[in-house]
Amino acid sequence: MIDQNRLKRLSIILFILTLIVLVIHMESLVRFNRQEFHVHGDEVTEGIQMEINAREDSTSTWLKRSFIMDDGKAVNLTGQTIDGTLSNQSGNTVDDWELRINITGNCYINQAWNGEVEIHQYVGTDEETVQRMNLQDYDLDEVTFDYRYDGDLLIPLREGDYVIYYPSTRFSEMPIGAGDDVKIGVIFYYLNALDLSDYDVQLHFHRYFTQGFTFYAFIVLGGLWLLFMVLTAADALAYRRAMKEMELRKSGIFSMSDIYDLIYIIHLPTGEMTPVSVDERIEKERPKNQTAKEVLTNLIREDVDEKYRELMLEFVDTDTLPERLKERNSVAGEFYSAKYGWCEIRFYAMDRVTDKPIENVVFTVQNISEEKQEQEAIMLRMEEAESFNEAKAAFMDNLADDLQRPLKNLAGLTERIIRESGDEAVRGYALSANSTVSRLLVLTDGLVDTFGVEGGQVKLNPRAYSLRELLIDLARTMLPLADQKRIAMSLDVTETLPDRLEGDPRVLREILVPMVSGLMHNAEGGSVQLAVYGKALEGRIHLLFSARLLSASAPDSRAMAPNEATGLTGLSMEVVSGLLGGMGSALKSVRSPEGRRELYFEIEQPVLDAAPVGKLTVGDAR
């Protein structure tokens, strides 16, 4: 998942840059569109050129003969059609323009099309006259100039006078698009020569929003900003989904909070730690800018006894966890803490995907000081009882032999009676007796092996069984004792656990019965709960069985005597621990500050059918 904070920062930066470029673009557009450009003569300025030339065809030049001048002299005037071409190769639109023609010699203006002209006559004299008019459509009575009219309007101009041409929008003389040009026409009369090389064009461009370098910069930055916004939104959606999934995971893992003092979920690629069940003070003191590896390394260096420090530093190296958890579901390490005594750190694999390294693990810390003391006491008592157990085993072997010898003799006698007796009633008694003897022989054959452990492994008889039926049968077995002692018994079983498993329910039952009944020993008038949780693996289920003393009428001040036969089976807790040890598990104990006790163990079972056990209560056993 992309770093959300980084994405947000980049999005904000791009948004600000986009706004800045947009403001610069708009300001440059306004400034450019307001700027007035000036083109002199036939020069090229900003891609704009104005060319004024005499039309050269045979009908564009003629003579006006016997024209009477002001001094009374008759002359021949030359009439000339003048073309003006304004070319726009700037890449921008010419929004408006005007042409000023400066008169350098005496002449007469007669016609102009298609726009209007503003004529400045006799400039600098007392007779100066200025009038704007359309030379194609005018009322002669409204003409204020000094003029001559002989069927053609002739307005005399002298050096220093000038004419301003205003183009017509009606005849598309403005605006002028990029790459276009506009032609205008003017007719002058002159006596000797006509020089129109002194002229100027004043114009304004109109640059549209989509033009200019700053527009492309705005598009690029805006596009990047939109891309980052999409990425941010997509990442936020993925993050919300991940957080929702994480909350669901946390709610399931939180059920283990009665066992573990600290529970975190660690995302190994980023080192992010998500609290599940943590003391508020510890979580507040945890540096939020450090990765899980840094936090755990500092914890080990500051708190762990020197004898275990190097080993635990290697154990909490989160970089090597994916490899260590490749073939395992969890790894655990024990150490001695200067603050809390004996503790155990365990990493559980989460979200295992085939051919991909583990990305998420559950990190737990459990104080096992009391468990260590109990284990040491149990080991001591087991060592003391070892010789007794050996003698007991020999006694069981001898007892089986002693029982089997007379039983075999009795079987021989009954078989002889069956063969030799002619009395049918006697033969019937003999057959019944022989059947009973056969059953006794089978029982004595299995007497020693009932709960035997060989080579560190319990002799199990794996078969298909129903977890629901096992728990109902267990509750049904325990209810008479609970009712007798006025104990409220309850079940807390995750409804989604698979029901059909493979294992030895006989051994599980004989382990669970003394665990529960042992807690009932001093819980008269209180409440006891049997809880079962699990984590699904590939084709297997990791189960946690827990027996809890929730409340008692009096403080549970007396520890359960490990050698004492507890519950309904007569098995001691040493035998239960031995059975679990032979199964590759261990019996663990937790005692609350109020003195209440909890016994639990963890095992794995193959799943035969993922159909859930469903809601399960003690009422199902009644």
CATH of the domain at 291: 3.30.450
Mean pLDDT (whole number) for 336-344: 90
**Based on the domain organization, do 92 and 175 belong to the same domain?**
yes
Residue 543 lies in a domain: yes
Residue 202 lies in a domain: no
Residue 461 has pLDDT above 80, yes or no: yes
Q: What is the pLDDT of residues 511-531, one digit of tens each?
A: 998 888 888 877 788 899 999
**Based on the domain organization, do 543 and 601 belong to the same domain?**
yes
Boundary (domain end) residue, out of 307, 332, 367: 367
**Based on the domain organization, do 572 and 593 belong to the same domain?**
yes
Boundary (domain end) residue, out of 367, 396, 421: 367
Q: Work out the number of other CB atoms within 10 angstroms of the CB of residue 90.
A: 19
Q: Which of 26, 35, 33 is nearest to 92 (CA)?
A: 33
Helix axes 467-484, 505-520, angle to 10 degrees: 30
Enclosing domain of residue 579: 457-621
**Cβ neighbours of residue 206 closer than 8 Å, sequence gap 6 or more:** 33, 92, 93, 94, 95, 175
pLDDT bucket at 576, cuts 50 / 70 / 90: confident
**Based on the domain organization, do 413 and 389 belong to the same domain?**
yes
Residue 536 lies in a domain: yes
The mean-pLDDT minimum among 204-208, 232-236, 348-352, 485-489 falls in 232-236
Q: What is the pLDDT of residue 575?
A: 76
Residue 349 has pLDDT above 70, yes or no: yes
**Based on the domain organization, do 466 and 490 belong to the same domain?**
yes
Residue 506 has pLDDT above 60, yes or no: yes
**Based on the domain organization, do 308 and 392 belong to the same domain?**
no
Calpha distance 473→458 (Å, rounded): 22
Mean pLDDT (whole number) for 186-203: 95
Residue 19 lies in a domain: yes
**Cβ neighbours of residue 93 closer than 8 Å, sequence gap 6 or more:** 175, 176, 177, 178, 205, 206, 207, 208
Q: How many domains does the chain have?
A: 5
Residue 204 lies in a domain: no
Residue 338 has pLDDT above 50, yes or no: yes
Residue 203 lies in a domain: no
Q: Which of 422, 380, 606 is nearest to 504 (CA)?
A: 606
pLDDT bucket at 556, cuts 50 / 70 / 90: very low
Q: What is the CATH number of the domain that holds 181?
A: 2.60.40.290
Residue 356 has pLDDT above 80, yes or no: yes
Calpha distance 552→526 (Å, rounded): 4
According to DSSP, residue 35 is labeled P
**Based on the domain organization, do 326 and 361 belong to the same domain?**
yes
Q: What is the pLDDT of residue 455?
A: 45
Residue 572 lies in a domain: yes
**Based on the domain organization, do 461 and 439 belong to the same domain?**
no
- List helix spans (H) across 63-174: none
Please indicate, yes or no, whether the overall pTM of this predicted structure exceeds 0.75.
no
Calpha distance 540→497 (Å, rounded): 11
Q: What is the pLDDT of residue 245?
A: 61
**Based on the domain organization, do 143 and 188 belong to the same domain?**
yes
pLDDT bucket at 385, cuts 50 / 70 / 90: low
Mean pLDDT (whole number) for 106-113: 95
* 61 Cα distance to chain centroid: 84
Cis bond upstream, residue 360 (ω within 30): no
**Cβ neighbours of residue 123 closer than 8 Å, sequence gap 6 or more:** 160, 161, 162
Contact 278, 262 (CB under 8 A): yes
Q: What is the pLDDT of residues 221-252, one digit of tens each?
A: 888 888 888 888 887 777 677 666 656 555 55
Average pLDDT, the chain: 84
Residue 345 has pLDDT above 50, yes or no: yes
pLDDT bucket at 377, cuts 50 / 70 / 90: confident
Q: Work out the number of other CB atoms within 10 angstroms of the CB of residue 65.
A: 9
30 exposure class (CB count in 10 Å sphere: 0-12, 13-18, 19+): exposed
For 113, 476, 548, the CA distances from 617, given in Å and listed in that order, are 104, 11, 16
Boundary (domain end) residue, out of 149, 176, 197: 197
Residue written as token pair 């939180």: 254
DSSP H/E element including 294:
helix 292-303
The string of DSSP codes covering 481-539 is HHHHTT-EEEEEE-TTSEEEEEE-HHHHHHHHHHHHHHHHTT-TTSEEEEEEEEEE-SS
Q: What is the pLDDT of residue 566?
A: 39
pLDDT bucket at 457, cuts 50 / 70 / 90: low
Q: What is the CATH number of the domain that holds 488?
A: 3.30.565.10
Contact 362, 278 (CB under 8 A): no
Beta strands 93-102 and 162-166, pairing class? antiparallel
Residue 158 lies in a domain: yes
**Based on the domain organization, do 190 and 219 belong to the same domain?**
no
**Based on the domain organization, do 577 and 528 belong to the same domain?**
yes
Contact 178, 90 (CB under 8 A): yes
DSSP SS3 for 300: helix
**Based on the domain organization, do 339 and 388 belong to the same domain?**
no
